[in-house]
Amino acid sequence: MSRRNQKLTQTERERLIETAHLAKSNAHAPYSQFRVGAALLTEDYTIFAGCNVENSSYGLAICAERNAVFKAVCAGQTKYKAIAIVSDDKNFLPPCGACRQVLFEFAPDMELILTNAKGEIKTSSLGRLFPMPADLKMLGKRPSNK
């Protein structure tokens, strides 16, 4: 039986969270001191980790979530089941707007696994967190300027 549409097990969630924590330890955050790690699970159960990478030109920084997605895409993986996001913050850290849009492009119904500094876990879905994303339906065919 295929596991493609099945929910994650507790062990699989814990593995994603552990991988995200390992990625967070590699974060490059000399300006904000705000480290974030992410672990993205593909439909074939491959995990891609990402961490935030800051730059003194702040606009050139990349979030952990997009870092993980871009690594997965580079490896030919574009179908995702879940992502775990961890930080040192006392609150749960959802993806920023840019990351929500990038995640939606590939997996609008993916599971989000959020943790906080106390080790508490909260799960949600990307669709619940991001109810009105820009998508291809919105872009549609536009008339040519010719």
pLDDT in tens, 102-111: 999 999 999 9
pLDDT digits (tens, 9 = 90+) for 114-143: 999 999 999 999 989 888 777 767 666 555
Structure tokens, 24: 């967070």
Question: Tokens 């993986």, residue?
Answer: 77
CB 49 within 8 A of CB 38: yes
Please tell me the CATH superfamily of domain 10-137, with its number: Cytidine Deaminase, domain 2 (3.40.140.10)
Reduce the DSSP state of residue 112 to 3 states and report it: strand
Cα distance between residue 126 and residue 5, in whole Å:
16
Burial of 70 (0-12, 13-18, 19+ CB in 10 A): middle
Share of the chain above pLDDT 90, in %: 80
- pLDDT, residue 1, reads 42
Angle at 11 between CA 16 and CA 5, to 5 degrees: 80
Structure tokens, 76: 């030919």
Q: Say which of 14, 18, 43, 65 is annotated catalytic.
A: 65
CB 104 within 8 A of CB 118: no
What single-letter amino acid sits at 12?
Answer: E
The torsion angles phi and psi of 36, rounded to 5 degrees, stand at -135, 140
CB 30 within 8 A of CB 12: no
- Concerning whether 14 is annotated as a catalytic residue, the answer is no
Q: Where are the beta strands (DSSP E) in the chain?
A: 36-42, 47-51, 80-87, 111-115, 121-125
pTM beyond 0.85: the answer is yes
